[in-house]
Amino acid sequence: MLEWPWRAVLMTKASANAFHRSVLGLDDPLENLAATIQTAGIAVLVLLGVTGICHRRVPKYVQYPVALLILGIAWRSDWRNIGTGFPLLAFGAVLLLSLTQGQKSAFPVLWAVFGLGLLAKMGINCRIWHYGYVLAMPTATGLVFILLKRLPDLVERYGFNARLLRVILAGLIGLGTLQLWLDSWQIYRAKTFAFESGSDRMFTFPPQQNARGEVIARTVEWLKQNTSPQSTLAAFPQGVMLNYLSRRANPTPYLTWIVTEYNTFGEEPMLGSLKAHPPDYIALVHTDTSEYGPRFFGQPGYGADTARWIVSHYRPVFLAGNEPFRGEQFGIRVLQYNGR
């Protein structure tokens, strides 16, 4: 089954919708390619400038002020889009390591090639702030190795101050990391609403800011109190967290029922599995899937036959929040199987 993701991409319509074109950068290839070149170019120019001032012939009264100026500019820069230039930077890393490897361990080269291969899965829209950020991790760590180890060692033989270069580059990396950490901290510190307990305890935004967490908590509580532990549950079009938190099994082979799954497997076999193993309860979870094309589950071309079957075989028994698939407000509707 390891080849299945590639079969889904190459042999089905799974990657043909707007969402996948966007995450691959194919929605506007010229603009995304230009952004990749621009970001990588800026990074290379900064690196050349930093390396240049570290030559031993450059007086210290020039080196230190310029280094502080570069660090100040770096702090004022937006590091969230640094991943845009990773494909070109990773390719350059492979070349640099290959040409300077000598008799040393081949692991850095293999790691750089590995990172470049993972970046290819993001196409020409590489990023560290959204889908695919894990794929960028090998390249990010490989670039740190090059900047703090391989590059200073390489230029030292040509009269450059390797120690000063490492200090400045470490400062740049540290400032960028700190800025990214602060961005994350601003988001996580706002998540003060806690629900569930023990190992399931989690925090999200308070109800007055975002009702999603409170609605999910109410739904899970209702499922625990009003259904038996042996009851089965399926969430449409997505919401497998409800299964986990309520400890209610999903009898179907599908965790989500969004556009990608319908394009990959086809609605007929998916609906067939639902008819063959109807769950005792269904949770309709408000999800705006406009990024895939159709906005709501049940619209033409997006689970319409599935939605009609659900309506004819299930009855509503619980509502938390607003009615799903209407407007902007979040809500979850729980339905019970009536056997008809």
Q: Which residues of 180-194 are buried (b: 16+ CB within 10 A; e: fewer)?
A: eeeeeeeeeeeeebe
Same domain, 230 and 165: no
Same domain, 222 and 183: no
Same domain, 168 and 77: yes
Same domain, 197 and 184: no
Kindly tell me if the per-residue pLDDT of 103 is higher than 60: no
- For β-strands 233-236 and 281-285, DSSP reports them as parallel
- Residue 10's pLDDT is 63
Same domain, 147 and 242: no
Same domain, 128 and 207: no
Same domain, 25 and 113: yes
HEC assignment per residue over 147-205: HHHHHHHHHHCCCECHHHHHHHHHHHHHHHHHHHHHHHHHHHCCCCEEECCHHHCEEEC
Kindly tell me if the per-residue pLDDT of 6 is higher than 70: no
Same domain, 179 and 266: no
Tens of pLDDT, residues 281-330: 999 999 999 888 889 999 988 999 999 999 999 999 999 999 999 988 99
The number of distinct structural domains making up the chain is 2
Same domain, 148 and 287: no
Tens of pLDDT, residues 186-221: 999 999 999 888 889 999 999 999 999 999 999 999
Final residue belonging to a domain, choices 163, 188, 213: 188
Final residue belonging to a domain, choices 142, 158, 188: 188
Helices 29-53, 86-100: inter-axial angle, 10-degree rounding: 50
Same domain, 17 and 74: yes
Final residue belonging to a domain, choices 188, 217, 238: 188
Structural domain of 255: 193-337
Same domain, 155 and 202: no
Sign for the pseudo-dihedral over CA of 164, 169, 171, 172: positive
Is the Cβ–Cβ distance between 292 and 338 less than 8 Å? no
pTM over 0.85: no
